[in-house]
Chains A and B, each alone.
Chain A
Amino acid sequence: GDSVTQMEGPVTLSEEAFLTINCTYTATGYPSLFWYVQYPGEGLQLLLKATKADDKGSNKGFEATYRKETTSFHLEKGSVQVSDSAVYFCALRGTGGFKTIFGAGTRLFVKA
């Protein structure tokens, strides 16, 4: 079945450092790919998405490119801020259904 694997955390960075959170997936066909973020005390919210191969999703300085050849959707940000500290979830939804499959989440700590 469909699955998502993302790098284990926690990831600890200093402010202004470069961030990469790896995400790979297994799915048939061409799923839609998502990154969700959960800030402390809140629910998950959509950060960005991509719906077809080579699409780049971007939001709030974060980017991720849908790579069909490597089945990956890595999240990147050039300069993180303390306010980016949160848990990040990679997710996919296949074209055949409505179920969204999530990874285990990666906790990010950004130090001032």
Chain B
Amino acid sequence: EAGVTQFPSHSVIEKGQTVTLRCDPISGHDNLYWYRRVMGKEIKFLLHFVKESKQDESGMPNNRFLAERTGGTYSTLKVQPAELEDSGVYFCASSPWTGSSYNSPLHFGNGTRLTVT
């Protein structure tokens, strides 16, 4: 099966610009997550979709971040306008919906490295 794919792999933008990251989860995975790792620190949760619905967006830093998952397939994460502190690696992960999803592992993409200058 194809894995989780993310695009682009790298993005360099100037402060104030807009960037949109895309994630294609593994086909059939209802759970989709966005995470971010900044400067070698812990990987922080941003939000969780179940199909097209936002299940938990408690980790979204502020209203400059907007995530969508129209149709319950791929997802986009838009940052508008970007600030310097948004730099980091953005990971997408997916997992199937099961009765015991709490112990199902996540399948990660390779990440998008975002640099805001």
A interface list, Cβ under 8 A from B: 4, 32, 34, 36, 41-46, 49, 51, 89, 93-95, 97-105
Nearest chain B residue, comparing its CB with the CB of A31: B102
Task: Tell whether B87 is near chain A: CB-to-CB under 8 Å.
Answer: no
Q: Contact between A43 and B109 (Cβ–Cβ < 8 Å)? A: yes
Report how many A-B pairs have Cβ atoms within 8 Å.
Answer: 62
What size tier do the contact residues of chain B reach? 20 to 34
- B103 adjacent to A102 (CB under 8 Å): no
A-B contact list, 23 entries, CB within 8 Å: A36-B108, A43-B3, A43-B109, A43-B110, A44-B93, A44-B106, A46-B105, A49-B105, A51-B103, A89-B43, A93-B102, A98-B33, A98-B56, A98-B101, A99-B58, A99-B59, A100-B106, A101-B45, A102-B44, A104-B40, A104-B42, A105-B37, A105-B40
Residues of B contacting A46 in the complex (Cβ-Cβ under 8 angstroms): 105-106
Complex partner residue of B103 from A93, A99, A101, CB under 8 angstroms:
A93
Residue of B3, B45, B102 most packed against chain A (CB within 10 A): B102
Q: Is the CB of A103 within 8 A of B103?
A: no
* Interface contact B42-A97, CB-CB below 8 Å: no
